[in-house]
Structure 1
């Protein structure tokens, strides 16, 4: 891991800033907006630059030393199960949601016994092209468990490809977040986070969204963010695929 002297919150690094060794990869969605491609395959197995969306995320996790990743499955689950069997790192644990989708928070809660105290959470339909330092490593270096329950990776609008919506959060100088309500000065949630399991204390059973826990952390002053470096890419529809391909090719060309 590349060493950093100061993290994005202006804090000196301490031994607390250790990379989580487990992760939750949210891969169980139906991918309805990606039809007709997803009529025969799950969205996480759509390829960008000859690599599946799922592998873009799992490779990022492996690069920072994550040992175990829980991948939830529901739609064409056998395809994802067969695909991840080909991987050596991280070790994959399948969380089976064939009996019913649990949404983002419900899926995490089901997988908590395999995730430990704090862990990465990744969306399986977004990824990014790094600069010199891994964005997941930068996220880990910014983590301060005494003051944070959730730490989000955030992207600027001008650094995003395939994003059709507005912004999600406004970030204060100390890194705390509040909802941007579409403010153009805000940042986009980039589909990666570090989460402490305590945020799910007394969580209800059944399907529900992680967004509720973002709001819970905001109310407690314990939702923080780190601005990512590089190009963030989201693939929501078939039209986004050529845009993503071009963004990868352009970013890699600049790196040569």
Structure 2
């Protein structure tokens, strides 16, 4: 599941007339960078949710293996968006991936799959040590214990990539909601886990991050 529905307001004028997933980084739209990673791993189904300027993304990906979950009239946020896409994704655990990051290092989906233990985990998050993150100004999201379980707190940064079981989404009454609601339930049951990413990651969430991402792709020591 590729999250591609957002407004990208922190990108300023760049997203006035085009959606953030189509912003170029090193001559290629952000969503194409994400799809390179996804296709290298090779899931059976790739779904992208659409809301803001959806026809542009649909046209860009026309004829590809990506299917679309259109959110209208309102954007549904990450939790509502994932739930709305379940008829396309199926009932099994799924990867979810933001489309506004650049990676240098091992394939993030393959790394998660290697560590996924469904008997113990309801979700496995891929997180970034702060020293390896570019373009991100927050204090971090999760603290990791020796068993790989997480609690909330300043520490590792959530990368926007995870494996997650989706059955409990049906228990949430809101139509528009963040996946944080589902994570809170998993935290209460001690079933939310994370793995640190050993490479570099750039959050392309604002205009200034594009240059950082391009330097990362060029192999610069940033």
TM-score by length of 2: 0.95
The answer (yes or no) to whether the contact 1:77–1:98 under 8 Å persists in 2 is no
Q: How does 1:34-73 map to 2 (within 5 A)?
A: 34-73=11-50
Tell me the CA shift for residue 225 of structure 1: 0.4
- Determine which of 112, 116, 121 is the counterpart of 1:148: 121
The answer (yes or no) to whether the contact 1:149–1:199 under 8 Å persists in 2 is no
Find the counterpart in structure 1 of residue 185 from structure 2.
Answer: 216
- Determine which of 84, 88, 98 is the counterpart of 1:114: 88
What is the SS of the residue equivalent to 2:148? coil
Tell me the CA shift for residue 82 of structure 1: 0.6
Aligned-partner Cα distance in 1 for 2:37–2:78:
20
What is the SS of the residue equivalent to 2:36? helix
Q: Indicate whether 1:236 and 2:209 are aligned.
A: no
Tell me the CA shift for residue 71 of structure 1: 0.5
Tell me the CA shift for residue 203 of structure 1: 2.2
Find the counterpart in structure 2 of residue 159 from structure 1.
Answer: 132
Tell me the CA shift for residue 234 of structure 1: 0.6
What is the SS of the residue equivalent to 1:163? coil
Tell me the CA shift for residue 246 of structure 1: 1.3
What is the SS of the residue equivalent to 1:243? helix
Q: Indicate whether 1:190 and 2:150 are aligned.
A: no
- Kindly tell me the number of residue pairs found equivalent between the two proteins: 221
Describe the superposition over 1:33-74 as per-residue Cα deviations: whole angstroms up to 9, x where unpaired: 111000110001111112211111111111011121110111
Describe the superposition over 1:197-218 as per-residue Cα deviations: whole angstroms up to 9, x where unpaired: 2232412241110111111111
Alignment CA distance shift 1:119-1:74 (3 Å): same
Tell me the CA shift for residue 249 of structure 1: 1.2
Describe the superposition over 1:164-183 as per-residue Cα deviations: whole angstroms up to 9, x where unpaired: 11110000111000001x3x
RMSD: 1.6
| Structure 2 stretches lacking a partner, 5+ long | none
Find the counterpart in structure 2 of residue 200 from structure 1.
Answer: 169
Find the counterpart in structure 2 of residue 105 from structure 1.
Answer: 79
Describe the superposition over 1:226-245 as per-residue Cα deviations: whole angstroms up to 9, x where unpaired: 11121111111111111111
TM-score by length of 1: 0.82
What is the SS of the residue equivalent to 2:171? coil
Find the counterpart in structure 2 of residue 16 from structure 1.
Answer: none
Aligned-partner Cα distance in 2 for 1:237–1:36:
11
Find the counterpart in structure 2 of residue 248 from structure 1.
Answer: 217
Aligned-partner Cα distance in 2 for 1:204–1:92:
29
The answer (yes or no) to whether the contact 1:27–1:123 under 8 Å persists in 2 is yes
Aligned-partner Cα distance in 1 for 2:27–2:198:
23
Tell me the CA shift for residue 134 of structure 1: 2.0
Aligned-partner Cα distance in 2 for 1:145–1:201:
19
The answer (yes or no) to whether the contact 1:44–1:52 under 8 Å persists in 2 is yes
